[in-house]
Amino acid sequence: MSENTTGISPIISKTVSFVKQELAQAEGGHDWWHIYRVWQLSRRIAAGEKVDMQIVELGALLHDIADSKFHGGDESIGPRKARTFLESQKVPEPVIQHVVNIIEYVSFKGGHNTGGFYSPELGVVQDADRLDALGAIGIARAFNYGGFKNRALYDPAIAPDLNMTREQYKKSAAPTINHFYEKLLLLKDRMNTSTGRELAEERHAFMELFLEKFYKEWEGEN
């Protein structure tokens, strides 16, 4: 399938090109195609919300421009890269600051990234980003990243930890199945918009079916 880039403005087109170049060598779950899916979901969700569409699109496109997981945990690189790019494109400062705020507050980070900033535009991008961690795509991304980090698929002796601090969550090297309980299955109830909640329900249910089948196959029952 080809990219859906119909009806985009010059600044969005330039941002697409910038993001593609920056993420050309990115890990498969956080590459251009992750950005593309979040961008398309953001456009879909935003259609039913009272938001500034340009801010939504810029936030979606730049939200993972330098994910801290791949930059030694430094959470300042992404916002800084986004600001530098947007300033080079003569984007107005209020728009730049709003987009930077979205980048800084969009992530899950163990569920402890709360307070400090919220806007309807952030709510849309956050829902879209969380939706890409659910369903079939979410399952694929989870195991892709687990493989990238050489983590076990599952270890019955290692229980999920639902009480990790933000720092513990960032440093966790638990088996990939644990990630479903420590993050993915929690996302359905953390959606901001009605469209996000509707889409999350179906994706969440698919993941529950996957886990049920996974455990049966693990024990040779199916």
CATH code (residue 72): 1.10.3210.50
4 located within any domain: no
Q: Is 1 within the bounds of a domain?
A: no
Q: Considering the domain boundaries, does residue 5 fall inside one?
A: no
Among 36-45, 103-112, 132-141, where is mean pLDDT lowest?
103-112
Report whether 37 contacts 77 (CB < 8 A).
no
Q: At 196, is the pLDDT very low, low, confident or very high (cuts 50, 70, 90)?
A: very high
Say which residues have a Cβ less than 8 Å from residue 55's Cβ, sequence separation at least 6.
95, 98, 99, 102, 121
Number of domains in the chain: 1
pLDDT for 110 equals 46
Q: Please give the residue range of the domain that contains residue 39.
A: 10-218
Q: Nearest-CA neighbor of 45 among 187, 193, 204? A: 193
Task: Give Cα separations from 65 to 34, 138, 141 (angstroms).
Answer: 11, 19, 17
Please return the burial class of 138, using the count of CB atoms within 10 Å of its CB with bins 0-12, 13-18 and 19+. Answer: buried
Residue 132 and residue 45 in contact, taking contact as beta carbons nearer than 8 Å: no
| 75, pLDDT greater than 80 | no
Distance of CA 145 to the CA centre of its chain: 13
Tens digit of each residue's pLDDT (9 = 90 or more) over 29-64 = 889 999 999 999 999 999 999 999 999 999 999 999
Write down the pTM of the prediction: 0.90
Ramachandran bin of 208, using left for φ above 0, alpha for ψ from -120 to 50, beta for the remaining angles: alpha
User: What pLDDT score does 108 carry?
Assistant: 65
Write out the two tokens for 45. Answer: 């969700």
d(CA 100, CA 153): 35
Question: 146 pLDDT exceeds 90?
Answer: yes
Is 3 a member of any domain? Answer: no
Instruction: Please report the DSSP string for 167-179 in residue order.
Output: HHHHH----HHHH
